[in-house]
Amino acid sequence: MQSIHLYWRRASIGLIVTLVCSIAGQALAKLPGFSLIGHLVLALVLGMCLQFARSLTAAAQQSTPFIANKFLRAGIILLGFKLNLVILMSAGLKSLEAAIVIVAVMIPLNYFVARFFKVEHTLAILTACGCSICGAAAVMGVSSAVKAKTDQSVLAVAIVAILGTLFTLIEVGLQPFLGFTDAQFGVMAGLSLHEIAHAVAAGGAAGAVGTD
């Protein structure tokens, strides 16, 4: 009984931290200057800062896989219920053509860049697919096909996550200077950022239209 109580206490820590970061991100986004960044990116940055609190990170570790997979996917599904189907059928289908071209070009380009810097063949494939398709999910999907070792898959996921976070912050910072409409910026974020969470976070910097 005590072990069950301890499990649920540890499992709830990650959920509480996620909720606090989300609420704090929304509050900060209302302040002058921070509104340009968007509450999703602010919540992401707050979560990254909390990684320095080793004891908190260790305590939340048990619930991290659930939040990163099930919880995040549920949030994306709920976000989808808000999407206007007219927008999806118009802008979405046009973007699909661009997405096909980008994936087809970026996989070989990322692979050859990685090989140029002497990255091992299997790791180069994993990172190329992760950075060109849909992040960690793509890495794990390709891992079995290329018979990657566990450490190679983990390293590829880390690389993809770091690059996605870095370029999310870069794109949000450039958003006021690019001259794009909110819809154009949202499409650009969706096409250029591989992780769904990063794309949604960056798109949120352009408001509801950018997120859609």
Tens-digit pLDDT profile for residues 61-101:
777 777 766 776 676 677 666 666 666 676 667 778 888 88
Cα 99-86-29 angle, rounded to 5 deg: 75
Same domain for 130 and 45: no
Query: Domain boundary residue among 30, 53, 82?
Result: 82
Same domain for 66 and 11: yes
Q: 191, 95 in Cβ contact below 8 A?
A: yes
Residue 69 and residue 32: Cα distance in Å, rounded? 33
- Structural domains of the chain, count: 2
Residue 203 and residue 197: Cα distance in Å, rounded? 10
Token pair of 185 as six digits: 């910026």
Residue 137's contacts (CB-CB under 8 Å, 6 or more residues apart) are none
Same domain for 149 and 90: yes
Range of the domain at 159: 83-212
Same domain for 184 and 124: yes
Same domain for 208 and 119: yes
Q: 18, 68 in Cβ contact below 8 A?
A: no
Same domain for 105 and 196: yes
To the question of pTM greater than 0.85 for the whole model, the response is no
Tens-digit pLDDT profile for residues 102-149:
899 999 999 999 999 999 999 999 999 999 988 877 888 888 888 888
